[in-house]
């Protein structure tokens, strides 16, 4: 598998708290994508970070990529109940058309 086991976890937090989710990957990648999947829906991309970027922000989201440690993180500030979802990291495979997904982090934000 491309992804480390710590990618599978569940988090339960109170609305308003900040949260950080982590992924570690095993083989070099130039791009890490983060997706969110709400209950009953398909995954939707939140943010993409490239190997020449250490950090990327989009609204309340912040993604980081550390190629030296082969890890990426997604932070959400001021969480809302509507942020409750499964969050996946993903990266292209050596076959560039394939995208490999981590097993996901189940985030539950309590109102």
Q: Which residues bind other proteins (CB under 8 A)?
A: 8, 30-31, 33, 35, 40-45, 48, 88, 90, 92, 96-104
State how far the Cα of 49 lies from the Cα of 65, in Å rounded to an integer: 7
Q: In the structure encoding, which two tokens stand for residue 84, read together? A: 């409750």
Question: With contact defined as beta carbons under 8 Å apart, do 71 and 6 qualify?
Answer: no
11 vs 15 by CB, closer to other proteins? 11
Chain-centroid distance of CA 107 in Å reads 11
Measured from the CB of residue 90, what is the shortest distance to other proteins in angstroms? 8
59 vs 96 by CB, closer to other proteins? 96
């Amino acid at each position: 598998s491309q992804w480390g086991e710590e990618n599978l976890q569940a988090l339960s937090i109170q609305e308003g708290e900040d949260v950080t989710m982590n992924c570690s990957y095993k083989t070099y990648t130039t791009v890490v994508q983060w997706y969110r999947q709400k209950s009953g829906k398909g995954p939707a991309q939140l943010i993409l970070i490239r190997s020449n970027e250490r950090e990327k922000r989009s609204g309340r989201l912040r993604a980081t990529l550390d190629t030296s440690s082969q890890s990426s993180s997604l932070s959400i500030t001021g969480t809302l109940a509507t942020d409750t979802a499964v969050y996946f990291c993903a990266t292209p495979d050596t076959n560039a058309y394939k995208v490999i997904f981590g097993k996901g982090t189940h985030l539950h934000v309590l109102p």
